[in-house]
Structure 1
Amino acid sequence: MAWSIAQNENICAPNSCSLAALQFLAFLTNYLGYSYDSNFVNRNVKIDSEYDFIIVGAGSAGCVVANRLSEIKNWKILVLEAGDEEPIIADLPAQEQILYPSSISYSYYTQPEDNACEASNNRRCLTIRGKALGGSSVVNSMLYVRGNKFDYDTIASHGNPGWGWKDVLPHFKKSEDLRYPEVSNVLYYILIEKFFILEKYPDAHSTGGYLTVGGLRKENVGDTIFEAFKELNYTETDYNSGDQLGLSRLQLTRINGARQSANGAFIRPIRGRRSNLVIKLMTRVTKIIIDKREKRAIGVEYVTGNSRRIHKIFASKEVIVSGGTIESPKLLMLSGIGPVAELKEAGIEVIKELPVGSYLHDHVCTNPVVVEFPNGYTGPLTFDLIQNDISYWLSTHEGVMASSRLFDVHLFIRTRLAKEIDGPDVQVIFLKHYHGKTDFKTPNFVPYYNRITFSVCLLTPKSSGSLRLNKTNPIWSHPLIYGNYLKDPHDLKVLIEGVRTVNKVLETSTFKKAGYKRVPIPAPGCEKYDYDSDEFYKCFAKRFTTPGWHSVGTCKMGQVSDPTSVVDARLRVHGISGLRVIDASILPFTPRGNTLGPAIMTGEKGSDFIKDDWLAVH
């Protein structure tokens, strides 16, 4: 069984788990909890003692690296992943929120925050990361957002040659298969969208890659939001063309009414077809084996399943760490690479002093504005309703379950507080929200909705955090995460300014004519403030903080002379040969948008670095 969920999370109403709820859980488990991928014939292949390359982690970047390196037929590639196969339930676009917390996701919590998540238990912010073949691309919102020219040109200017926009764009395009036509009854609409993107931005996109990027079917509510912002003189653009400012239709990683994870895009098409690629799941790497005399990575130590028996396996060329922004720095530190004081306190021998975990960056969002509209879903949200719609999706990949929790509108704005003239400082997405009678503990089970939540996200935070080992149990415990969200007062000011800017849509004739109006929402702890005051927005952002889950920077890229960096521009760990980090943790700051696209691009770029280095010489 690849997937299971705790009965008291999301499904059950408060303090109870009814017979209907238990039956629904049984349905989900029996029909969606297993994985088609379990049928691949090389799933349980015998592991050799040595490989050319060992890839630790099969997330968004790791799947790309596994695919690209195994293109070289005489290279032996081993992928070690802590999670299990990707289950069928992950393919279901409309049920994203049921995926966490569950067996295919890590639930990380920050240490108590001083300025954020005040309403959460112990003031700790939740961060979800994927734990399955495909990593976080299995549990995310499927948004494909690259960032903009200014982001990558800035990264390049900080001592990272080859990372400017003109350098990374080919790697974005290499993966991409822009494919809008998905739903036959709205073919005309989505063909128009595809032609708009390809004709106006012909150099920004490509077709034929492994990763399918598509749009959503037409919905009247999304169109109303879109037209209302056009009334405010926001122009339509393609946010993946390099210049994000303006109004766009969503681009998501989905195919034929289903999610397409990095596993679905890069591993399934080749799995079982390339005998030089071996994937071992339910395997946790506990240490990188480093030859201390030569300062070279030569293999890894790992455990399988629930066992804590240590096994060793060796790499003749390189060890590639692709565990993500939280697990990659943890593994480096467990292997003796990190801050000296940190390692000594954990009883770990220091092999190389580097600022691992020291520059954690993430976006932060606030959702204080909810809009109600006529003709939304008004019936009760029951287990029977959802089960019937899931059953229909299982046989057709159509219907409401092929949708998303997002409306088909994406807005990037630059507030008056922005100092940079080349990019936005706020991203706005519009979430479907259900208000009414429900069987569920958490009622946000799309696609049933009668309200819109405006989610305003800060793209350029000045606040940054860090990640440290849990000294009492460094191997088996989650690392200690210090998010430091909203620590810099400027961040809160930008969020409030973003909310104020977006709220102007409430006064448009489009919204008023359609009968859209704002409704107050419960905000315990903020009742004393008028719900449209700066004081309310400040209180709401600090109490009900929503991290972006776009964390980067814990294995920061930079020149060897840069005391803040861990890897060089070719993603090689400073001072340790045969070791690279290839995932979003190497990005010096979070690009302006969701991190799936940048992580996949990093996988493409890192794979090319490896091929260049080994094929050119050997």
Structure 2
Amino acid sequence: HDDFHGSDGPIPVRRHPRETWLPLQSAFHAACVAEGFPQDPDMNSPEATGVGQFPLNYVDGVRVSTSIGHLESCRHRLNLTIKGDVLVHRVLFDGKRATGIEAESGGETFVVEGDEIILSAGAVASPQLLMLSGVGPGSNLDRVGISSVHNLEGVGLNLKNHPSLSLRFQPKAGYSLPPDSPRNQVALRFAAAGSTTRNDIQVQPLTSGPKGREADEIRVGCRLELPESAGELTLASADPMVQPKLDYQSLVQTQDRERMREAVRTCVRIFGHQGFQGIIEERISPSETDLASDTSLDAWLDRNIGVAGHTCGTCKMGPASDPAAVVDQYCRVHGLEGLRVIDASVMPEITRANTNATTIMIAERVADFIRNGDK
């Protein structure tokens, strides 16, 4: 145990020992070292960079969620009710004070009242719920016919995620990727040339197939960890069952595009190393034509770019003087009473890592505020 590593928290952290690495993972590690990247035995160290074991919150193949790690020991409490299969329609207000929520379950609509209402629906559903409740940009609410309770222009702005894509390789005949293989064992983190931030690129070879069947391709995930680009979430309908519109604006910023180009070319170079000769038959995508110029590579990026499962930022934390801010430092919604948002949507910037641990930290921190009566 030290300042950066716990030993008794609710979420375990595990790494695959080197002797358990699959051939693709071992070859990737060796190729990265041969390319001059440092070996990184602990990616949770503040100074970590390079290639090494990827820390995971898995035990016996099961990801330890907050439902398992935090809630399991609390489910019996008499002051806690957990109800599944519920769709929340909106937050209810008396003037500027939140008083409850309107929800639906099993075809029945009902109201739950409370002294304080907390939205923890995630960076897509929390801003959606605010807007469905009349809290958000007036122009967006007007467009779908929702009466405004409180004009808050920042709701849905600052939509962030990690731009991500996969390089694809044809494995050698007889080389298999069984569906029960570990998906992630080793990762590389490095800074793109000219970048002002460390570890803004992450690369991971994926060594398992789709659920229930073997993979017919080797895929290598490539991710931009600190994008400059930000998008917007807007309502498509006043119906809570209709998914809002998400426009991530991935790679719109020139710096993001330049860094992703370098990430792809670095991956191609790494996977050309001799250690893959018994594993990889050929590279499927990007092709040599795709790699021939920045213009052709940009076209390939545009065809293949997606995002990770790390949506955040849509209810940004910041001072009331910031027109894009939605909540204060205690996660209370600006201009309203009795309403907080506590999830990844409050992050002003996306993390240079998966968002899971940071989201848990936000919840634990604000839970302490509430429990101690600080705010």
Fold match by TM threshold 0.5: yes
Three-state SS of the structure 2 residue aligned to 1:277 is coil
Asked if the contact 2:168–2:217 (Cα under 8 Å) also holds between the matched residues in 1, the reply is no
Structure with bigger helix share is: 1
8 A Cα contact 2:236 2:242, kept in partner: yes
Name the SS for the 1:213 alignment partner: coil
Q: How many Å separate the matches in 1 of 2:62 and 2:233?
A: 34
Q: 1:531 to 1:259 in 2, by over 3 A?
A: same
Alignment partner, residue 333 of structure 1: 131
Q: TM-score, normalised by structure 1?
A: 0.56
The alignment partner of 2:127 has SS state of helix
**Alpha carbons 1:373, 1:450 under 8 Å: kept:** no
Aligned ranges 1:474-493 → 2 under 5 Å: 474-493=239-258
CA RMSD of aligned residues (A): 2.5
Structure 1 portions without partners, runs of 5+: 1-197, 382-399, 435-443
**2:226 is matched with which residue: 454, 457, 460?**
460
**Aligned residues with identical type, % of pairs:** 30
Instruction: Say whether the 8 Å CA contact 1:369–1:518 is kept in structure 2.
Output: no
Instruction: Say whether 1:241 aligns with 2:241.
Output: no
Alignment of 1:457-536 (within 5 A): 457-471=223-237, 473-508=238-273, 511=275, 515-517=278-280, 519-521=282-284, 530-534=289-293, 535-536=295-296
Q: Deviations over 1:216-247 (max 9, x none)?
A: 36124222221221222322332222334212
Judged with a 3 Å threshold, the aligned counterparts in structure 2 of structure 1 residues 476 and 507 are, in CA distance, closer, same or farther, namely closer
> Any residues of structure 2 matched to 1:128-527 within 5 Å, and which?
202-216=2-16, 218-221=20-23, 222-237=25-40, 238-272=42-76, 274-292=77-95, 295-305=96-106, 307=107, 309-316=108-115, 318-354=116-152, 355-370=154-169, 372=171, 376-377=175-176, 401=180, 403-406=181-184, 408-420=185-197, 423-432=198-207, 444-445=210-211, 448=214, 452-471=218-237, 473-508=238-273, 511=275, 515-517=278-280, 519-521=282-284
> Do the aligned partners of 2:175 and 2:279 also contact (CA within 8 Å) in 1?
no
**3-state DSSP of counterpart to 1:247:** strand
Letter in 2 for 1:327: A
Distance in structure 2 (CA, Å) of the matches to 1:375 and 1:249: 26
- Indicate how the Cα distance of structure 1 residues 520 and 229 shifts in structure 2: closer, same or farther if over 3 A, else same: closer
8 Å Cα contact 1:431-1:455 kept in structure 2: yes
Paired residues in the alignment total 369
Could you say if the C-alpha distance between residues 540 and 445 of structure 1 is closer, same or farther in structure 2, counting changes exceeding 3 Å? farther
* Aligned counterpart, 1:541: 301
1:357 aligned partner, one-letter code: G
Looking at structure 2, the residues matched to 507 and 446 of structure 1 have their Cα atoms a distance apart, in angstroms, of 30
Write the distance in 2 (CA, Å) between the matches of 1:256 and 1:543.
Answer: 37
Q: Does structure 1 conserve the Cα–Cα contact (< 8 Å) formed by 2:28 and 2:271?
A: no
Q: Take 2:182 and 2:149, find their aligned partners in 1: how far apart are those partners? A: 47
Q: Which residue of 2 aligns with 1:554?
A: 314
Counterpart-to-counterpart distance in 2, 1:296 and 1:589 = 28
User: Residue 520 of structure 1 aligns to a residue in which SS?
Assistant: strand
Q: Distance in 1 between matches of 2:151 and 2:52?
A: 44
SS at match of 1:416: coil
**Alignment correspondent of 1:603:** 363
Question: Cα distance, 1:545 vs. partner?
Answer: 2.0
Q: Give 1:531 deviation, angstroms.
A: 4.7
Which AA in structure 2 matches 1:599? T
**Residue 575 of structure 1 aligns to which amino acid in structure 2?**
G
CA distance in 2, matches of 1:446, 1:365: 24
Checking the alignment, whether the CA contact within 8 Å between 1:432 and 1:447 is kept in structure 2 is: no
Aligned twin of 2:331? 571
Query: In structure 1, how many angstroms separate the alpha carbons of the residues matched to 2:68 and 2:351?
Result: 24
Query: Following the alignment from structure 1 to structure 2, what is the Cα–Cα distance between the partners of residues 522 and 496?
Result: 14
Q: Deviations over 1:103-156 (max 9, x none)?
A: xxxxxxxxxxxxxxxxxxxxxxxxxxxxxxxxxxxxxxxxxxxxxxxxxxxxxx
Matching residue's letter, 1:259 = R
Give me the whole-angstrom Cα distance separating, in 2, the residues matched to 1:449 and 1:334.
41
Inter-partner Cα distance in structure 2 for 1:348 and 1:334: 7
**Cα separation, partners in 2 of 1:327 and 1:247, compared to 1, 3 Å:** same
* Equivalent AA in structure 2 for residue 431 of structure 1: L
- State the distance in 1 between where 2:194 and 2:168 align: 21
Aligned to 1:159: none
Looking at structure 2, the residues matched to 342 and 462 of structure 1 have their Cα atoms a distance apart, in angstroms, of 25
Deviations 1:309-334 (A, max 9, x none): 43112112x11100001100011111
CA distance in 2, matches of 1:489, 1:542: 13
Structure 2, unmatched stretches of 5+, are: none
The 1:446–1:595 alpha-carbon spacing in structure 2 relative to 1, beyond 3 Å, is farther
- 1:429 maps to a residue whose letter is Q
Paired residue secondary structure (1:342): helix
Residue 299 of structure 1 contacts residue 319 of structure 1 at CA under 8 Å; is this kept in 2?
A: yes
- What is the SS of the residue equivalent to 2:90? strand
| Partner in structure 2 of residue 191 of structure 1 | none
